[in-house]
Amino acid sequence: MRRIIRIGAALSAATIAALVLLVAAPAYAHNYLVASTPEEGAILTQLPEEFSVSTSDTLLDLAGDGGGFAIQVVDASGNYFGDGCFTIRDDSLSTTAALGNAGEYTMLWQLVSSDGHTISGEIGFEWQPDADQPISEGFDAPPACGGGTLEQTDPDDQATSTGDGQTDAATTVDAATVLLVAGAIALVLIAGVAIFLITVRRNRSDQ
């Protein structure tokens, strides 16, 4: 009898441990930066088609409004460049490239990773344009998509264009996690009931 109880207790402990790991895993599954245009410390002589950051997993934009996302380019004097619009596409965030006079620039980015946590960073680079490269006027505040500037640098206020399938992919990730956790809970309950029934039957047979 004691051996059966020990086996049941071991199974329950193993199931509970698996449940803890399933619940804890998403908390540490933050996306991380894998590539960017420009790269940190790069010296640009020609404008790329867009400025972008790519991460290790699909980005999370469940509402489809770009809340929590932003990508901005600022020079050493604090002037902002670009049109304020950005695109969320699978694992990447991008904006149309625009720069002013030669000098040092910083690309600031913020996004929501697949686990629902917001992450951000900055990438410093230098702009040494060739003679034929376009020079843009800067703004003293972050530009707003569609015209004007943002009075507050709140990424939730920015307009965005989101790639197809983004919401579905993020929802699938969350649904899979819920199913795994629910399955682990069911195993814990089943193991507990089995131990209880075995104990009751054993006690009755001993009487």
pLDDT for 149: 82
157 pLDDT more than 80: no
Total domains in the fold of the chain: 2
Q: Do 41 and 101 fall into the same domain?
A: yes
75-86 confidence digits (pLDDT tens): 999 999 999 999
Instruction: Based on the fold, state whether residues 49 and 83 are members of the same structural domain.
Output: yes
Is 8's pLDDT higher than 90?
A: no
* 134 and 96 housed in the same domain: yes
Omega before residue 143 within 30° of 0, cis:
no
Q: What pLDDT is attached to residue 36?
A: 98
Q: Where residue 44 sits, what CATH number does that domain have?
A: 2.60.40.1220
Q: For residue range 12-51, what is the model confidence (pLDDT) as tens digits?
A: 555 555 444 444 444 456 899 999 999 999 999 999 999 9
Please indicate, yes or no, whether residues 112 and 17 belong to a single structural domain of this protein: no
| Whole-number CA gyration radius for the chain | 26
Same domain, 48 and 81: yes
Q: Of the candidates 164, 160, 162, 98, which has an alpha carbon nearest to the alpha carbon of residue 134?
A: 98
Judgement on whether residues 16 and 83 belong to the same structural domain of the protein? no
Q: Which residue has the higher pLDDT, 195 or 113?
A: 113
Whether residue 86 is found in the same domain as residue 175: no
The percent of residues above 90 in pLDDT, for the chain, comes to 56
Q: Which domain holds residue 21?
A: 2-26+171-206
How many CA atoms lie within 13 Å of 77's alpha carbon, on the beta-carbon side? 11
Percent of the chain predicted with pLDDT > 70: 58
pLDDT of residue 165: 35
Residues 191, 138 share a domain:
no
Name the least confident of 19-23, 135-139, 197-201.
19-23
Q: Looking at the structure, do residues 100 and 131 belong to the same domain, yes or no? A: yes
Model pLDDT, residue 125: 98
| Distance between CA atoms of residues 68 and 9, nearest Å | 45
Q: Determine how many CB atoms are found less than 10 A away from the CB of residue 189.
A: 11
Same domain, 17 and 102: no
* 139 DSSP 8-state letter: B
Counting every residue, how long is the chain? 207
Do 122 and 189 belong to one domain? no
Residue in this structure with the two tokens 């020990």, named with its chain if needed: 6
Q: Where is pLDDT greater, at 202 or 91? A: 91
pLDDT at 174 over 70: no
- Same-domain status, 37 and 17: no
